[in-house]
Amino acid sequence: MNLPNEIKVDVLQDDIKKGKPRCPCVCPIALAVKRAVEVDTIAIWGRGLNYINGIKYRLCDTGSDFVYNFDKYEEVKPCSVVLTKFEDIDD
């Protein structure tokens, strides 16, 4: 399966309700990605590396903040996030 260099998703209220804090395979962003693209495996960790079908992706700051707050059981709101293939990031 060929994944795009950049994945843009909208995290919906339904994703937030179904998501589980501190569970990288079932966080709301992972659920949103599963709706947007066909994936076999996914792990969303936040600011660090995230894996979609074994490919490394970096989450945008908005998404990283979302994961951080969600994992602390703080209230989060629906938002749009972008994941970029790690090798395509200029640091």
Strand 55-59 to 79-85 pairing: antiparallel
Angle value at C-alpha 32, between 2 and 28, nearest 5 degrees: 130
Residue 13 makes CB contacts below 8 A (sequence gap 6+) with: 78
pLDDT by residue, tens only, the chain of 91 residues: 688 999 999 999 999 999 999 999 999 999 999 999 989 899 998 777 789 999 999 999 999 999 999 999 999 999 999 999 987 555 5
Give the pLDDT confidence score for residue 38 in this predicted structure. Answer: 87
Give the pLDDT confidence score for residue 30 in this predicted structure. Answer: 96
Angle value at C-alpha 20, between 18 and 22, nearest 5 degrees: 160
pTM (two decimals): 0.90
Helix, coil or strand: residue 84: strand
Domain extent listing, the chain: 6-88
Angle value at C-alpha 27, between 23 and 32, nearest 5 degrees: 150
